[in-house]
Structure 1
Amino acid sequence: MIDFATRRTMMVDTQVRPSDVTKFPIIDAMLSIPRESFVPAAQREAAYMGENLNLGGGRVLLEPRTLAKMLDALDISNDELVLDVGAALGYSSAVIARMAEAVVAVEQDEDMAREAQDALAEAGADNVILHVGPLVEGAAQHGPYDVIVIQGAVAELPQTLRDQIKEGGRVACLFMDGALGEVRIGHKTGDTLSWRMSFNAGAPVLPGFAKEDVFEF
C-alpha cells in the first residue's frame, strides 16, 4: 500500500519549499489536496514525482514546483475570482480553490472534465465551477477575473483571454521559445499587459496556443 500522505509531505519539503515558496496558503493547499486523486489511475504511483506528468494528447500535469512558484508569484487572496485554463483532471483548480474565493476551471477534453468533476467533488472543492469548452476561449460569461492561470505552455496569449482579465488583474503564462521556457506574470492596465519574468520552467504548448503562422509574400 502506497503511503501517499508521506509522499505529499516529501513533495512539499523537497520540491516546493526549496524553490523559495513559503506562503502558508500554498503550502497548506499542496499538503491538503491528494494529487494522486487527480491523475489517471495507472499513473497514481508517479503523482508526486518532480516532473511534468504526461496525460496524453500533448497535455501534462505541471510539476509541483512550477505550479507552486506560479501561485507564489500571483499571490492570490481569498476574495479573488480565478480562471484556471487547462484544468485537466482538476488538481490545480483544487489547490487554487483553497486560496481564492472561487475558481472557474476550463477544460476542453470531455473525458478529463468528467473525471475532474468527480475528483473535485471528492476533494470538497465546492467553490470550483467546471466549464467545458475550448481552452483558448476561457469562460467569459463568468468573468472578468482577478487572476488567470494557464496549465501548460503558450507561444502567445490569445486576445480572448486578455479580454477576460479584470482591470488591475494578473495572469501567469509559461512562454516557450524552442526548448527553453519562462513563466511571466502579466499585470493589466487599461488594454495593456505589462510582463515581468518570474522563473524558468518547461511544458508542451497547449492545443490552440501555438503562434499563428503569418503568410508573407
Structure 2
Amino acid sequence: MTRIIADISVSLDGFVTGPDPGPDNGLGTGGEALHTWAFSDDPDDRRYLGEGTARSGAVILGRRLFDVVDGPGGWDDSVGYGAGEVGRPAFVVVTSSPPEAIRLADLDWTFVTTGLADAVTAARERAEAASSHSGKDLDVVLMGGGATIGSALAAGLVDALTLHLAPVVLGAGTPLFTGGPPRALVRRSVTSTSTATHLTYDVL
C-alpha cells in the first residue's frame, strides 16, 4: 500500500534551514549541518538514506525548494535526491506558477497548481504506477520544504513522519512546526548515530 511519508532533517530547536535561506543559499546560514548524516559513512546513516530513496515512488516538494534544487548551485549527478542510490522517482511540485524553463530536464517533473491535496493525489498516482511496474510497494515522500510538510501535516495528508534530528542549534531559520491542529504520533523506530537521531512516527 502506498503511504504518504514526510521526511526531513531538523535542528534541535526545530528549524529545517538556517537563517536567510534563498535560491543561492538553500539551507540558510549554518544549515548544511542538518544534512551531515546524508554524507556520512556510518552504516546506519547509509541504511536510512538507501531505504528512503528505494521506497520513493514519487516525491513532493514546494516551489521554493524546487527553485533551490533546480538552480545553478542545486542538484547534479553527485548531489540530489537519489544521487548514487537506486533509481530516480517522479517529482511533483506544488506551485501557483510553473517555471518557464527547467535545468534538470532529465528528471520527471509534474507541476500542480491546484493545491497540496491535488499534488498528493497526483504523486500517489505516480507512486502506485511505479509500484505496479516494479512489483513492490512504493511510497510518496514529502521532502519539503518545511512549510509544505507543515501544511500537509495540518491537513491530515501524512501517514508517517521521519525526522533526522541533527545535533545542532541554529537559533533561527525556517521552522518545521508553526501551529495547526494537534496530531497524535506513534513512535515506530529510533536510531542514533554520531550525526543524527533518526525518528520515525506513524501519524494518527
Structure with bigger RCO (C-alpha 8 Å, 6+ apart): 2
Query: Scaled by the length of structure 1, what TM-score is found?
Result: 0.40
Q: TM-score, normalized by length of structure 2? A: 0.42
